[in-house]
Structure 1
Amino acid sequence: MRIITGIYKGRHFDVPRTFKARPTTDFAKENIFNVLGGYLDFDGITALDLFAGTGSISLEMLSRGSAQVISVEADRDHARFIAQCMKKIGADNNLLIRGDVFRFLKSCHQQFNLIFADPPYALEQLTTLPDLIFEHDLLVPEGIFVLEHGKDHSFESHPHFIDHRHYGSVNFSLFR
């Protein structure tokens, strides 16, 4: 896993083979971040990474200038790996929360410029995520929510849907 661009550009992290989480491919990550660059300036934003997995997205957001990134990951080993990666780059503006994403969303009272969710594609509640984000008012005005998902889901009829991108088998739906 590597950081594509920004202040930590080119840094590599070896993801343990035992991990269930699959980091977003470099190709898909680079492309979706290029798309996001057209919607927002990463410099100084507050971001939320749900189902943080390996921390790849959190690291990329920090590298591109996010002032604060909150990473939510339930798995103990994955959370430990994210903490180690953050320590390696010396990032002190990442708040790692080890816990259930749905519980976090229901109790969160902060708003974010960018929310990125990369849940397991087979997650039963995957389709409820856009509604939860907007019901709990977690985005600032003009904020963006990105949901990574498999090809079996379409969110184009959602009232906050603005864009869909796919790179190979990776799909991203964007909401505002």
Structure 2
Amino acid sequence: MAKAKTGGATASGPGQIRLIGGQWRGRKLPVLNSEGLRPTSDRVKETLFNWLMFDIRGCRCLDLFAGSGSLGFEALSRGAAEVVLVEQDAKVAQQLRRNLASLPGARGEVVNADALDYLQTPATPFDLVFLDPPFHRELLPAACRWLEQAGWLSDAAKIYIEREQGPASPPLPANWRLLKDKQAGQVCYQLYQREHVE
């Protein structure tokens, strides 16, 4: 779930996201009314988690541009061992912590940081990474480069990318193999698998 980083979050007019499967299926979580917040639609989310049906349980997930946390919380509901949600906006991150605390036994952590700065800290490998950055900011190439080069991905990690439709795909590491590719309106979403490089 991406959000624009311009403008702050406000407490007025909160929306909500809905968990669509797993342990907390049907649970609704509040989302701050923050400029540029763009939750992944239920339709796209359902398709994504059908793709990941056999990969979620027991995996370590990174929700790098967390925003509402829709993807990270869905992964927790479906049995992910741990989810780290990275969000730059302090008020949005605070709401993510409240939502995480409302899910009994959920193993997660919310990091209030710029995503690209976070990727320059000491890495621990993740099995699944959600990349849904703010549109029109050209953040994907750098994020993908850091993920691949700095040790953030397990040998066969899967990487989900959600981006605005454009004339060409962003440059990605050569060892990321495209598994799934769909479009919904002006949004493209894809699932890649990392192939281990010796």
State the TM-score, normalizing by the size of structure 1. Answer: 0.90
Q: Distance in 2 between matches of 1:157 and 1:8?
A: 34
Partner deviation per Cα, 1:141-171 (whole Å, 9 max, x = no partner): 1111111111015148752141322223221
Matched, 1:86 2:100: yes
Q: Distance in 2 between matches of 1:109 and 1:169?
A: 33
CA contact (8 A) 2:141 2:172 kept: no
Q: Distance in 2 between matches of 1:143 and 1:92?
A: 22
Partner of 2:69: 55
Partner of 1:22: 38
1:70 corresponds to which of 66, 84, 88: 84
Matched, 1:170 2:187: yes
Q: Distance in 2 between matches of 1:71 and 1:158?
A: 23
Q: How many residues align?
A: 174
Matched, 1:136 2:150: yes
1:43 corresponds to which of 30, 46, 57: 57
**What's the offset of the Cα at 1:137?**
2.5
Partner of 2:140: 126
* Structure with the largest fraction of helix: 1
CA contact (8 A) 1:155 1:161 kept: no
Q: Distance in 2 between matches of 1:102 and 1:173?
A: 21
Partner deviation per Cα, 1:71-97 (whole Å, 9 max, x = no partner): 100101110111111122224411110
Aligned residue for 2:102, secondary structure, equals helix
**Residue ranges of structure 2 left out of the alignment (5+ in a row):** 1-16
**What's the offset of the Cα at 1:22?**
1.3
Q: Which has the larger radius of gyration?
A: 2
Map 1:106-121 to 2 at 5 A: 106-121=120-135
* Structure with the largest fraction of strand: 2
Q: Distance in 2 between matches of 1:168 and 1:51?
A: 21
**Residue ranges of structure 1 left out of the alignment (5+ in a row):** none
Identity of aligned residues (%): 30
Partner of 1:32: 48
CA contact (8 A) 1:115 1:144 kept: yes
State the one-letter code of the partner of 2:190.
S
**What's the offset of the Cα at 1:14?**
3.2
1:103 corresponds to which of 117, 123, 147: 117
